[in-house]
Structure 1
Amino acid sequence: MKAVRIPGFGAAPMLEQLADPQPRAGRTIVRMAAATVGHIDRTVWSGAFLRHPPLPYIPGVEAAGTVVASESYRAGQRVWLRGSGLGTTENGTWCELIDAPDEALGLLPDTIDMALGAAFFSPCTSAWIVLHEVAKLQRGERVLVTGATGAVGAMTVQLAREAGAIVLTRAEEAAQQQQPFDLLVDTVGGPVLEAALPCVAPGGRAVLVGYTAGNMLPLNIAHFLQRDVALLPLNMFRREAAGR
């Protein structure tokens, strides 16, 4: 099979011909139809992630395709793949044949496009977990979402409105209204998060989802203590079961 492999952290990817995976207990072989390329892949690739597979490794944390061989799924079934170490502690999805733990698979309905099947899990479940498991969103609360044009941000806006929240997506608008927010969902990090935090009401919550704009946050500790805003990180590795 053909696969993209990373020979070392930060190194250029290489397209290689590898031996096809062989059936084994607890694993399913899937022929890939679509795979995602996301920020987490870049972070693992750089060596900056807390977890990483042995080098060289095949990146990719999500995909969709059809079952080739398995003890748990019938051949030809359409499935999506995510989690269970794919692309973070073991080889991932950027290959023609994916050798995945059975628990990483989910059935994909015939009516769902493979590309959507590969990409839906992270943004949809992250947004749901942010609002209902981490932030404990209540109807009528005011919510500010940064990065609302991104996948997680867009889903967060839709789900928050569905839950009866009042949602804005621009910190400038929030400042102009001079009404603090009960909840900030930040999907960007860096200076965007720094600018948005003062919009949160004292005693409010800020859920930190992403860091595409930077992974550092300077804090005035005295001001932060007086404002008493809870900083709540989203860790989908710990919450994967709740997401599923």
Structure 2
Amino acid sequence: MSTRGTVLHSHGPGEQLKAEEVELTAGPGETLVEMRLAAVTALDRSTLAGKQPSVPFVPGSEGAGVVLSSDVVDAGTAVVVRGEGVGVTRPGVWGRYAVVPDGAVHRLPSSLEPAAALALLTPALTAHTAVRRVAEILKGETVVVTGVTSLVGRMCAQVARSAGAARVVGLVSMEASVDSTTALVDQIVRVDGLGQVGRELQWCDAAIDTMGGPVTGGVLGHIAPGGRIAVLGYNAGEFTTIDLHQLVGRDLRVLPVNLQRTALAADAVGQALADIAPASWRAEYDVVPADRAGDALDRQAGRVLLDLTALR
């Protein structure tokens, strides 16, 4: 299927993006998407600042729209587009329409608005990687999530639930408010700045640690033999003390969550969105008309989305 539409073209690093009309044709293994929104990501900024695969080049590595034609997704399906080199090694999604590989198309859960899905995608993939890829949470397990009041912490709790965890326990600092967290976990346990965990914390099979510091060592004392802890962050400190007798004697595993070195599976985007969809999230983002993409690129703070429907 072919169509004509306006795209944003980059003519090289430092050049202003230009709106130009082109014809797009989807070939075998490709999907034609009517784009509605696109995220402005760090990857987009680095691609535009460096050597681009072609000139002119259509940037945009993440977006949301509706399928017009595809061999793998029904026409009219709301989707998120990400991966397979889109916006990096092949034309991206900053246009009214985009032709992308079938593997870059991921169904959007009906309970998530497109803008919210794009704004939440990065933390959702972080939680997905920690819970499903690194910790490999299994059905029926008890899971502790430290720092559960943060956005990534809450998502880790929800992904653990979606992965089949029978019990999810949230570990929080002594002064943290838990109003946004109670619906996601079965129990809240407090931990002090020295890593001393409340006595009410029982044994768990695995922990997702977003806090680090002394909390990591404190949580290890509550992991059952053969269990593991996936270390995702270190807001509470970069150093911890590990009881080696405990580590060796109970056959525990300490697993670093390195997002740069962990390749995403083909279904990671769709799985991550499906995992967080049952919960309620407050997504923070700004929407900028696509013809002001240059302004959006200049903004370094906050999540910025481009309204691609502004392109005619």
The reply to whether TM is greater than 0.5 is yes
Matched to 2:256, the amino acid is L
Q: Does 1:166 align with 2:169?
A: yes
Q: Could you tell me how far apart the structure 2 residues matched to 1:182 and 1:77 are?
A: 37
Would you say the 8 A contact 2:65–2:78 is kept in 1? yes
Q: Is residue 239 from structure 1 mapped to residue 264 from structure 2 by the alignment?
A: yes
Q: Cα distance, 1:201 vs. partner?
A: 1.3
Report what 1:15 is aligned to: 18
Instruction: Kindly provide the amino acid, as one letter, of the partner of residue 7 in structure 2.
Output: A
Judging changes above 3 Å, is the alpha-carbon distance between structure 1 residues 95 and 29 closer, same or farther for their aligned structure 2 residues? same
8 A contact 1:67–1:77 mirrored in 2: yes
After TM superposition, give the deviation of residue 101 of structure 1 in Å.
0.6
Query: Once the two structures are aligned, what percentage of the paired residues are identical?
Result: 25
Aligned to 1:2: 6
Q: Please list, as runs of the form range in 1=range in 2, the aligned pairs for 1:68-147 lying within 5 A after superposition.
A: 68-108=68-108, 113-116=113-116, 118-119=118-119, 121-137=121-137, 139-141=142-144, 143-144=146-147
Q: Is this contact kept in 2: 1:143–1:165, CA < 8 A?
A: no
The TM-score, its normalising length taken from structure 2, stands at 0.53
SS at match of 2:87: coil
TM-score, length of structure 1 as denominator length: 0.65
* 1:142-181 CA-partner distances (Å, limit 9, x unpaired): 52358x24xx454224445774343346698744363269
Name the counterpart of 1:65.
65
Residues 142 and 114 from structure 1, CA distance in 2 versus in 1: closer, same or farther, beyond 3 angstroms? closer
The one-character-per-residue Cα deviations of 1:111-134 (angstroms, maximum 9, x if unpaired) are: 753334555654434423311321
CA distance in 1, matches of 2:6, 2:81: 19
Q: What aligned pairs does 1:19-34 form with structure 2 within 5 A after superposition?
A: 19-34=22-37
Q: Across the two proteins, how many residue pairs are aligned to each other?
A: 218
- Which has the larger displacement, 123-132 or 165-174? 165-174
- Of the two structures, which has the highest relative contact order with CA contacts closer than 8 Å and spacing of 6 or more? 2
Structure 2 CA distance, aligned partners of 1:38 and 1:140? 32
Residue from 192, 195, 216 that aligns with 1:200: 216
Instruction: Give the CA RMSD over aligned residues.
Output: 4.2
Specify the structure having the higher radius of gyration (Cα): 2
User: 1:225–1:87: structure 2 CA closer, same or farther, 3 Å change rule?
Assistant: farther
Unpaired runs of 5+ in structure 1?
A: 187-195, 214-218
Are residues 54 and 160 of structure 1, via their aligned partners in 2, closer, same or farther at CA, if it must alter by over 3 Å?
same
Alignment partner, residue 193 of structure 2: 176
| Match in the other structure for 1:35 | 38
Compare the two structures and name the one with the higher helix fraction. Answer: 1
- Aligned partners of 1:45 and 1:59 also within 8 Å: yes
